[in-house]
Structure 1
Amino acid sequence: MAEDGEEKLLATVQHIAKTLGRTGTMTEDILKVFSNYDGRLSLDKLYAAAAAAGGGAGEHSMPASSPPPALPSAPAPMPPVTSLERTVRTLDRQISQFVTMDRLVWADSADADAFLEAVDDLIGTVQELDAAGTNRGLLDRADELLSRCMARLEDEFRALIERPDDAAPAAPGGFDSEESEDEGYDADDGYGDEPIPIAKPVSDFDVVIDALPPGSVSDVHQIARRMVDAGFGRECAEAYAAARRGFIDESVARLGIRPRTSDEVHSLPWEELEFDIARWIPAFKMVFRILIPSERRLSDRVFDGLAPYGDLAFVAAVRTQALQLISFGDAVSAASRAPERLFRVIDMYEAVRDLLPDLDPVFADPYSAALRAEVSAVCNTLGSSIKGIFMELENLIRRDPARVAVPGGGIHPITRYVMNYLRAACGSRQTLEEVMEGDLGALGVAVDPDRPTSSLAVHIAWIMDVLHKNLEAKSKIYRDPPLASIFLMNNGKYIIHKVNDSELGVLLGDEWMKQMSSRVRRWSMEYQRGAWSKVMSVLQTGGSGFNSLPAKAMLQKLQMFNSYLEEIRAAQSEWVVIDEQLRADVRAAIADSVIPAYKGLIARLRSSEEVEQDLFIKYTPEDIEACIQHLFEGFAK
């Protein structure tokens, strides 16, 4: 009796569905609604009842307005159910339980396998329906179910990337399962208060970050393959990039890098900007040597065999942080080119230049080639900035005013600054040679055939010429020409010392050194002629020497000599020759000129019987020698 009641109930439901359903798809939807409300009205029973009734008719014959019989004894036949329709209905039931699941499907490996199997069947069914092209309504229904599948798969995909421990799948023999799950993976980071695993700063750049365990990589690869097969490859790539961006952003933030606009970079005090550059250099190396190659490796594994979506995913994931670092380099290049910035800019240039070859395999695809070009471009702009800084150094030397004379004719601060600056710069000679290459003739001067002709050598030689002209202009401040010669001599000798003691000697060459040494000797002779001309004029005699002079004339010469010597001692008491060897050489040259002549004068006076010579001989030759040996000590005396 109960069976008769169930049959009547099934027949009634079929009649209602037939009456209200204008199409086969609508009828199926109505039957599905009934099946959800009563276990006796399962779709299988409804379809079986329709088949038992001999459903072979095509369209429904009963008009929609006809009243249903109270208790039909022979239900009207249902439309024929094809195998594809049964497949879609079955997949709908199977997939719906996974799509509506309130936990991760991948938390249970059996559920994950069943879901993927159902997705594979659905994709195949959609392709078969699309190829047949005979049942548009069923195809639309299958497409809608596929969209729901893809939405759920995308959620699972992102969750597995962002929170791999939430799924904790067991993946024996999975994708790259031979690798240790602890390789490059810091389990101490946790996923509680800090849900994203972070790449920690390192100094060894020959490492790879495995941000996901191998089992998770295998799972997301399986999902990616289904999404690509279903025509959702671009959505999968976007989901991947969105999931990985958090990891990359947090990793860069851990390196202490904060975004700076170009205006901020230009307005920052140099001390603060220098601090930012000091952080940028290791961060740039970390990101482009470890983080980005690791991201390339991960995207290649996730999208293995799914080109070009792996390339799209990789670029979308790393582009923001890569461009942020690149834009900082561009901003520094376009900022002030004050000479003190040279060394930090060289450091930046070398950091970018050294990693360029390693980027070729990382940015080999057409989608990331633009990023490789951006890195190359910032290397070029940093190189241009270095050349601009050298030009600014020349301008700085030219603009340095000749206002105050250096006491005692010592070394001018501009000389110390320029020579120590160039000496330090030549510590990066190879880099500077590389940057300057191709600039021969750019200075607008002819290249001396006897001078080293590398681009850097020409730049350095030109700067030295500018410095020399500046020092000559400064020497004119001194009212006493011999002191001006002392000034040039001191600065010239200092330049020679700094050139000999560094790579500058190699760049400027032997010929330049000979010319500079010749200038120092000339300035030394000019000093001697200018400062001791009166003394030497007194001591000079005719061909027969002092013997031809009367005693009174010799006394007059002696008195004049004493006066001139005391004048020199008073005027030159604060004059200084910095270099010890140069000081000794100048003293020796003076002594060689003065003392023999003075001894001749004293000897002639002492041999004369016309005067009491001891009353007029104030200084012995030894006194003159001591006087000369105390010259050029300046304030140290």
Structure 2
Amino acid sequence: MKIKLWLVIVGGCFSYSLLRLRSILDPQPLYQDLAGIRIDPRSQSQSQVSSGSVSPPDSPHVPVPPQADPTHLGSPLQQGNNSRRAIARMHFMSYIEELEKENEKVIDTILKLVGEYLKANVVKEDQIAVPEIQADDNLVKDMLPVELIDKLRQTGRLMFQNECCSLYSSCRRLFLKQCLSKFGLEVEELKVEDFDKMEKIECLIKGLNITVRILFPNERILCDLVFPQSYNADIAFSEVCSELSISLLRFVNTLATENHQWSYHLVHVIPNVFKTLIDLIPMFDSLFYGQLFSESLRNGAVLVGKRLGVFVELESLIHREVAKESVPNGGIHPTTHKVIDYLREVFTDDETFPIRKGVSSFSDQVGRIIKVLDSNLEANSRSYTDPALGHVFMINNLMFLQYGEYYIYGDILGQDWYKSKINQNIELYQRSSCDKILDLLKVNRRELVAESMKKKLKLFNQHFNEICKAQSEWFIFDDQLRERMIKSIENTLLPAYGTFIGMIHDVVGKDAYKFIRYGMHNIQDRLSRLFLVTNA
């Protein structure tokens, strides 16, 4: 009897200790009513989907910091933490369901805000005026119950943050898709055969404007409220926006890079899309710039905008800028630099972005832009008082374009096109530069008299010195081309000069040395100093 009494006492003490330990480890009254919570099976299936990878195809990888826990797995404290997180997850999922139930009301409110804009025609010229979108960054926040946002924030703090962000972002991505569907702006991947469907282009323009001006700013505000730590808010925001951003930008990129059989697109549609995207770049900047997890979305928008800009912006830049200034030493025109720099930014490797001739309309546009630049440079070259310098100017700019094409974007115009134009300007340079002094070295029978020969030699010395002095301050872009041009002049000038010196010796005799200023080696030495400017 005493033994049984002792066992009862010991058992009672042990049970009481367990109850006290449980109350210490799990003090939150929020979780004491777990038995009364009903979890919708639909939410459980959603959570299983959400717990996987949520990054859309081509979206930037979002690194998630490891969740450090100082306790040992299986310890009472660790078990208590796991229990609290499991309960917090159930609560969080129930709040996510509440959030989803608010979607229809919020979407209807946004629809009223953009209703007039959705009715407008944004791709036709006869549209008198397109209504402006009245942005409201706090619209979604103000429509949602404050208590619901607080519950999401408080419960989310008790969960693993990567899981919390995944569940939340999955819910909000669904909201964005529901918005565009309700607005009639489902943006599917653009196909080449759909370019003649204006409704597709119109969906793109409207989808871009509404998404970047209204939906994304509202999602940014909501992320900041649910995730007080900016790091977690950035992760969630990136996951929410990546899929839709990539889809829209892929749509625009296809428009910019595929073949166009309809000139209407080049003249009207692409400029409209270009203007839309360029106007939105500041919004992409403010939303994504400097964020570790989503700056690639901003960079993607800038890149696609530049690709569209080949159709619109570069030609305007060329016509506007080339005529403004001449380069004193015949070097590379600033506009040539700008065009090449611009093109360099919009090209990627051939595997992901094929741009060789015949592959895409983008290639054709690049070729057309280069030809427009070439014709404007030729007009500029005629402004030089010395025609020879004008041809040097054309040689340099053509060589620069050829190097740019070879290293950046392949053989669009063809090397023969460059070679022909460069050789033509080299020949014209030599005529302009050397013909005058070569004429002085030509002697007919009537001029085989001392005074005439002395006069010719004096004029040759004067003009040769002026040419060498002036052209020593000119620039040639390519070292091999510089050597080639000097060698070509030597091959033309030296034989003619040598013949003339022999003739003047015959006519004047030993006094000829009084009038000969340059020996053959002196001529070669002066020619070797042409085009000494090394950076232009």
Q: How high is the TM-score relative to the length of structure 2?
A: 0.50
How far apart in 1 are the matches of 2:377 and 2:431?
21
The answer on 1:515 being equivalent to 2:417 is: yes
Which of 63, 67, 76 in structure 2 is aligned with 1:204? Answer: 63
The answer on 1:503 being equivalent to 2:408 is: yes
Residue pair 2:92, 2:155 contacting (<8 A) in 1 also: no
Post-superposition Cα deviations, 1:175-194, rounded to whole Å, max 9, x if no partner, equal: 9xxxxxxxxxxxxxxxxxxx
In the alignment, what sits opposite 1:470? 376
Post-superposition Cα deviations, 1:456-503, rounded to whole Å, max 9, x if no partner, equal: 322322222222123223223212211111111111122222333x23
In the alignment, what sits opposite 1:535? 437
Which of 554, 577, 581 in structure 1 is aligned with 2:480? Answer: 581
| Paired amino acid for 1:540 | K
Post-superposition Cα deviations, 1:71-90, rounded to whole Å, max 9, x if no partner, equal: xxxxxxxxxxxxxxxxxxxx
Residue pair 2:442, 2:500 contacting (<8 A) in 1 also: no
Residue pair 2:330, 2:475 contacting (<8 A) in 1 also: yes
Which of 293, 308, 316 in structure 2 is aligned with 1:388? Answer: 308
How far apart in 2 are the matches of 1:338 and 1:465?
31
In the alignment, what sits opposite 1:78? none
Counting matched residue pairs gives: 346
How far apart in 1 are the matches of 2:376 and 2:456?
41
In the alignment, what sits opposite 2:516? 617
Give the secondary structure class of the aligned counterpart of 2:325.
coil
How far apart in 2 are the matches of 1:614 and 1:581?
36
Question: What is the CA-CA distance between 1:218 and the residue it aligns to?
Answer: 5.3
Check 1:503–1:347 CA distance in 2 against 1; reply closer, same or farther (3 A cut): farther
Residue pair 2:156, 2:164 contacting (<8 A) in 1 also: no
Select between 583-592 and 336-345 the one with higher mean Cα deviation.
336-345
In the alignment, what sits opposite 2:83? 215
Question: What is the CA-CA distance between 1:551 and the residue it aligns to?
Answer: 4.6
Check 1:463–1:609 CA distance in 2 against 1; reply closer, same or farther (3 A cut): closer
Residue pair 1:343, 1:425 contacting (<8 A) in 2 also: no
Give the secondary structure class of the aligned counterpart of 1:632.
coil
Check 1:409–1:248 CA distance in 2 against 1; reply closer, same or farther (3 A cut): farther
Residue pair 2:277, 2:301 contacting (<8 A) in 1 also: no
How far apart in 1 are the matches of 2:433 and 2:423?
15
Larger RCO (CA under 8 A, 6+ residues apart)? 2
The answer on 1:460 being equivalent to 2:319 is: no
The answer on 1:246 being equivalent to 2:153 is: yes
Question: What is the CA-CA distance between 1:386 and the residue it aligns to?
Answer: 4.0
Give the secondary structure class of the aligned counterpart of 1:619.
coil
Check 1:385–1:620 CA distance in 2 against 1; reply closer, same or farther (3 A cut): closer
Q: How high is the TM-score relative to the length of structure 1?
A: 0.43
Question: What is the CA-CA distance between 1:393 and the residue it aligns to?
Answer: 2.9
Name structure 2 gaps, 5 residues minimum: 1-26, 40-44, 46-59, 70-79, 103-144, 173-217, 224-236, 250-273
Give the alignment's Cα RMSD to 1 decimal: 5.6
How far apart in 1 are the matches of 2:285 and 2:440?
57
| Paired amino acid for 1:618 | R
The answer on 1:491 being equivalent to 2:397 is: yes
Give the secondary structure class of the aligned counterpart of 1:405.
coil
In the alignment, what sits opposite 2:196? none
How far apart in 1 are the matches of 2:501 and 2:282?
60
Select between 405-414 and 338-347 the one with higher mean Cα deviation.
338-347
In the alignment, what sits opposite 2:329? 408
Question: What is the CA-CA distance between 1:598 and the residue it aligns to?
Answer: 0.5
The answer on 1:423 being equivalent to 2:344 is: yes
How far apart in 1 are the matches of 2:220 and 2:153?
10
How far apart in 2 are the matches of 1:464 and 1:591?
33
Question: What is the CA-CA distance between 1:623 and the residue it aligns to?
Answer: 1.4
Check 1:548–1:381 CA distance in 2 against 1; reply closer, same or farther (3 A cut): closer
Check 1:291–1:606 CA distance in 2 against 1; reply closer, same or farther (3 A cut): farther
Which of 288, 293, 296 in structure 1 is aligned with 2:166? Answer: 293
Which of 454, 457, 481 in structure 2 is aligned with 1:555? Answer: 454
How far apart in 2 are the matches of 1:529 and 1:566?
17
5 Å-filtered alignment, 1:140-155, equals: none
Residue pair 1:409, 1:484 contacting (<8 A) in 2 also: yes
Check 1:479–1:247 CA distance in 2 against 1; reply closer, same or farther (3 A cut): farther
How far apart in 1 are the matches of 2:163 and 2:88?
22
How far apart in 2 are the matches of 1:539 and 1:485?
24
Check 1:344–1:462 CA distance in 2 against 1; reply closer, same or farther (3 A cut): farther
**Greater Rg over alpha carbons, structure:** 1
Check 1:486–1:609 CA distance in 2 against 1; reply closer, same or farther (3 A cut): closer
How far apart in 2 are the matches of 1:624 and 1:202?
66
How far apart in 2 are the matches of 1:580 and 1:628?
15
| Paired amino acid for 2:396 | N
Check 1:565–1:381 CA distance in 2 against 1; reply closer, same or farther (3 A cut): closer
How far apart in 2 are the matches of 1:432 and 1:344?
28
Give the secondary structure class of the aligned counterpart of 1:477.
coil
Residue pair 1:489, 1:524 contacting (<8 A) in 2 also: yes
| Paired amino acid for 2:308 | G
The alignment-based identity, stated in percent, is 22
5 Å-filtered alignment, 1:66-215, equals: 108=32, 113=35, 116=36, 204=63, 215=83
Residue pair 1:245, 1:318 contacting (<8 A) in 2 also: no
How far apart in 2 are the matches of 1:485 and 1:338?
43
Post-superposition Cα deviations, 1:250-303, rounded to whole Å, max 9, x if no partner, equal: 99xxxxxxxxxxxxxxxxxxxxxxxxxxxxxxxxxxx9x97653447899xxxx
In the alignment, what sits opposite 1:398? 319
Check 1:202–1:518 CA distance in 2 against 1; reply closer, same or farther (3 A cut): closer
How far apart in 2 are the matches of 1:463 and 1:381?
22
| Paired amino acid for 2:474 | W
Post-superposition Cα deviations, 1:575-612, rounded to whole Å, max 9, x if no partner, equal: 22232211111111111100111001112222346673
How far apart in 2 are the matches of 1:520 and 1:469?
14
Name structure 1 gaps, 5 residues minimum: 1-102, 117-152, 158-174, 176-200, 252-286, 300-315, 356-377, 437-449
How far apart in 2 are the matches of 1:235 and 1:606?
105
Residue pair 2:322, 2:333 contacting (<8 A) in 1 also: no
Residue pair 2:281, 2:302 contacting (<8 A) in 1 also: no
Check 1:347–1:486 CA distance in 2 against 1; reply closer, same or farther (3 A cut): farther
Question: What is the CA-CA distance between 1:532 and the residue it aligns to?
Answer: 1.3
Check 1:248–1:591 CA distance in 2 against 1; reply closer, same or farther (3 A cut): farther
How far apart in 2 are the matches of 1:405 and 1:632?
18
How far apart in 2 are the matches of 1:341 and 1:550?
82
